Amino acid sequence: MRMGLIGLGKMGHNMRDRLQSGGHDIVGFDPHVASSNVDTLEQLISSLDAPRVVWIMVPHGSPTRDTVGALTELLEPGDLVIEGGNSRFTDDQLHAQYLAKRGIDYLDCGVSGGVWGRELGYALMVGGDAAVVERAMPLFRSLLPDEDLTKCFVHAGPVGAGHFAKMVHNGVEYGLMQAYAEGYELLSAQHLVTDVQGVLEAWTSGTVVRSWLLDLLVDALRTDPGLTDSSGYVADSGEGRWTVEEAIAHSVPVPVISAALFARFSSQQADSPAMKAISALRNQFGGHAMQKVTL
């Protein structure tokens, strides 16, 4: 299958390689990288035979919205847009409605696999009409790991369902990473444990807490024991926030995911105003000494 791919960042570049290895002809466009196959969006569309398939892999928000808007003016009835970034599911529903007015189909595809997906394959969560999903299956199959489709692919529901599923996936990921990180810190704080990395590595086989994320933490510690080269600043890319917002909207308690999100906020504060207030209050009611900032 011949397909246009918009966005050749690390994820998009790796996906292009895997799709090409699967026998597909991929025309990539990204004005910010030298590996772009064409120079303009117009050239990308003109290089594809109708009915066209265009996969978007750009940052969520305005970049995706602007790309969909541009494609609406360039594509024709019967063409298909697949949004494989991390858009909010409500944006997908608006995109689908907008494109449908021009007779253009739309799928949202949550993609998980990170930088390892090129070699190992990706898990895909897709939202959209069943007939449209079937049309794109040759592409999806080339991206999946070489195993039973039911273990790494799901048609999650109508438009929006794919990215909603990926949003919750990323929220769960927040909680898992936070738990492993807290366990690592507690092990490191106890002088009785003289081989923290060895303990974590022992957990990677046979235990109920084994996982790929734990494997990656052990790999990171092998490369940088003590994680001295790593910053404690942890960004949040949006999906964690959206997961908590949706949990509130549906009255679903998500204390672990919420705590993991707030822990990331704490990491982003060089000097927490809240903790300053607590220090001042302790001094006021109990005369507890306040640490002064050293200039």
Contact at 8 Å (CB) between 174 and 261?
yes
Query: How many contiguous H segments (helices) and E segments (strands) does the chain have?
Result: 12, 7
Query: Could you give the CA distance from residue 63 to residue 273 in angstroms, rounded to a whole number?
Result: 33
Contact at 8 Å (CB) between 65 and 73?
no
Q: Angle of helix 255-267 relative to helix 239-249, nearest 10 degrees?
A: 140
Query: Could you give the CA distance from residue 279 to residue 251 in angstroms, rounded to a whole number?
Result: 34
Tell me whether the omega of the peptide bond preceding residue 138 falls within 30 degrees of 0, making it cis. no
Distance of CA 196 to the CA centre of its chain: 29
Residues with catalytic annotation? Answer: 166, 173
CA atoms in the 13 A half-sphere facing the CB of 146: 5
**Structure tokens given for 254:** 């998500």
Using alpha carbons, select from 140, 128, 139 the residue that is nearest to residue 165.
128
